[in-house]
């Protein structure tokens, strides 16, 4: 029996997400991101294809590392202009019943107390279809506009994130007991104060004495996504994330990354297969291989070199404007090279990557791999990657929207279904139930479940809550 493949659509509330320059393609609709219909059409399409979810990226800040300014990003609409992703979710929820929503939100820029209320509200309104992609941000330009000189230190951001999650777990899991909401019309009691607890969080970064403002939502804690690439980031993911998002360009790198994430999850006392891992992936499909190849050639002619460099420079913090296009990556000051670029320079000892080749790669679908072909060809490749790397599924970036997703729904999904590798019906229930086949709440082995009984936590001097 082939393994089931999970698929999300990867989007962003902007024009140029992962395929810089392709906004200029005559069939691309990304410029309509400001219209609700763009999003409701997409949500209906994805649900027709039984995709697990739409995963919405977000950044606060502009890509201003290339040449020390944001001009290339602005010219090429490289993730700027960018609207807030949160407002997209309720209209998409209204026109769908099963599609999951992965919302990216940075914990660096918003206090956990109002943010907890936002997430609970969305979990209520979507009937438990919310996931949260926990990001700590990587653009200094965002931090500067919030009155900070720069982002905090890399590992410090994850320490901060640990405490942020602790506050959220207390609010979501511990503040309102089961049965706290009575809605008892006869006694005229809506909620029972004896079952609603102040969380009394006194920590290094946050003081949150009160109760959660929302009654428990279907999942309480939304499904937690994370995409840490560093050692500290992967550790954070192993402890907290239920779904991990990676951008591995080759099978060898993906296989190592998946094994590493599962090993770390097991070390953190969790079932390693209770962590779903998705790789970034782009597919260009046609009725035949030749048609798909022709589509790819057409798309490629729209890739923007400076847009691609703006993205890579923003992601890595390295100004690629200082290098010639034919400069070999391996020779770029290696001590500054960050994991993603390093992956390219070391992936294949027989290949030397130049700056131009890296920009071409990133030009369609960012750092993730690109498969081009008929549904049969691409399905073969996806299945091969799943079998050989143990990855659970893919976050599909688009080249041209909605065209890429129409091709996925009309060509790829039926082929995978025919092979028994993709669901033909959604599982019932919340996003967590659909993804893991268990209950709507965090499993007992997840650290967040440890905050369900706040009173008991407070009496244990060694507990995190007591220390806080």
Give me the least distance between CB of 200 and ligand FMN, in Å please: 30
Nearer to ligand FMN among residue 199 and residue 310 (C-beta): 310
Nearer to ligand FMN among residue 141 and residue 374 (C-beta): 141
Nearer to ligand FMN among residue 230 and residue 301 (C-beta): 230
Give me the least distance between CB of 460 and ligand FMN, in Å please: 31
For residues 246 and 227, the answer to whether their CB atoms sit within 8 Å is yes
CA angle 124, 57, 154 (to 5 degrees): 110
- Cα–Cα distance list, 390 to 242, 265, 278, 386, 387 (Å): 16, 15, 10, 5, 6
CA distance 223 to 187: 36
Nearer to ligand FMN among residue 103 and residue 465 (C-beta): 103
Footprint of ligand FMN (CB under 6 A): 57-59, 104, 106, 135-138, 227-230, 233, 245-247, 280
Give the CA count within 13 Å in the CB-facing half-sphere of 42.
Answer: 32
Give me the least distance between CB of 250 and ligand FMN, in Å please: 15
Residue nearest to ligand FMN (CB): 233
Residue 181, sorted as left (phi over 0), alpha (psi -120 to 50) or beta, turns out to be: beta
Q: How many CB atoms lie within 10 A of CB 467?
A: 11
Nearer to ligand FMN among residue 230 and residue 334 (C-beta): 230
| 230 labeled binding residue | yes
Give me the least distance between CB of 133 and ligand FMN, in Å please: 6
CA dihedral (238, 313, 160, 280) positive or negative: negative
The contacts of residue 14 (CB under 8 Å, 6+ apart) are 30, 33, 77, 79, 80, 81, 82, 83
The pair of structure tokens assigned to 263 is 């090993």
Q: Do β-strands 201-202 and 207-208 pair in parallel, antiparallel, or remain unpaired?
A: antiparallel
Nearer to ligand FMN among residue 54 and residue 246 (C-beta): 246
Give me the least distance between CB of 247 and ligand FMN, in Å please: 4
| 58 labeled binding residue | yes
- What is the distance, to the nearest Å, from the Cα of residue 239 to the centroid of all Cα atoms in its chain? 17
CA distance 334 to 61: 26
| 158 labeled binding residue | yes
Give me the least distance between CB of 194 and ligand FMN, in Å please: 40
Nearer to ligand FMN among residue 101 and residue 451 (C-beta): 101
| 313 labeled binding residue | no
CA distance 247 to 254: 8
Give me the least distance between CB of 291 and ligand FMN, in Å please: 28
Binding residues: 58, 104, 154, 158, 230
Binding residues for FMN: 58, 104, 154, 158, 230
């Amino acid at each position: 029996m082939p393994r089931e493949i999970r698929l999300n659509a990867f989007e962003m509330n902007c024009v140029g997400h992962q395929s810089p320059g392709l906004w200029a393609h005559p069939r691309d609709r990304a410029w309509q991101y400001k219209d609700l219909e763009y999003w409701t059409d997409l949500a209906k399409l994805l649900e027709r294809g039984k995709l697990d979810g739409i995963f919405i990226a977000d950044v606060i800040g502009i890509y201003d590392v290339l040449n020390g300014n944001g001009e290339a990003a602005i010219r090429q609409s490289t993730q700027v202009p960018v609207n807030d992703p949160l407002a997209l979710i309720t209209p998409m929820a209204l026109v769908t019943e099963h599609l999951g929503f992965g919302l990216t939100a940075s914990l660096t820029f918003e206090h956990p107390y109002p943010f907890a209320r936002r997430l609970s509200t969305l979990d209520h309104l979507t009937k438990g279809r919310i996931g949260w992609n926990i990001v700590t941000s990587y653009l200094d330009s965002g931090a500067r506009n919030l009155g900070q000189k720069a982002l905090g230190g890399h590992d410090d951001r994850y320490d901060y994130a640990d405490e942020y999650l602790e506050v959220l777990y207390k609010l979501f899991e511990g503040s309102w007991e089961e049965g706290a909401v009575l809605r008892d019309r006869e006694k005229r009691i809506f909620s029972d104060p004896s079952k609603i607890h102040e969380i009394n969080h006194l920590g290094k970064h946050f003081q949150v004495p009160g109760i959660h403002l929302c009654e428990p939502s279907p999942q309480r804690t939304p499904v937690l996504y994370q995409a840490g690439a560093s050692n500290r980031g992967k550790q954070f993911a192993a402890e907290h994330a239920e779904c991990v998002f990676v951008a591995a360009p080759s099978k060898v790198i993906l296989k190592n990354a998946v094994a590493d994430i599962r090993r770390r999850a097991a070390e953190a006392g969790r079932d390693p297969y209770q962590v779903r891992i998705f790789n970034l992936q782009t597919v260009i499909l046609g009725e035949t291989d030749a048609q798909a190849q022709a589509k790819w050639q057409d798309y490629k002619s729209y890739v923007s070199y400076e847009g691609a460099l703006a993205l890579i420079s923003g992601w890595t913090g390295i100004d690629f404007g200082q290098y010639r296009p034919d400069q070999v990556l391996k020779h770029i000051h290696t001590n500054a090279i960050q994991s993603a670029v390093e992956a390219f320079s070391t992936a294949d000892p027989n290949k030397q990557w130049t700056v131009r080749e890296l920009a071409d790669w990133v030009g369609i679908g960012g750092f993730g791999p690109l498969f081009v072909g008929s549904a049969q060809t691409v399905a073969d490749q996806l299945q091969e990657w799943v079998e050989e790397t143990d990855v659970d599924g893919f976050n599909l970036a688009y080249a041209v929207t909605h065209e890429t997703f129409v091709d996925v729904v009309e060509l790829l999904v039926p082929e995978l279904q025919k092979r028994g590798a993709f669901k033909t019906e959604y599982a019932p229930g919340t996003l967590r139930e659909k993804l893991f086949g268990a209950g709507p709440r965090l499993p007992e082995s997840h650290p967040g479940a440890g905050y369900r009984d706040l009173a008991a936590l407070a009496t244990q001097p060694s507990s995190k809550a007591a220390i806080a």
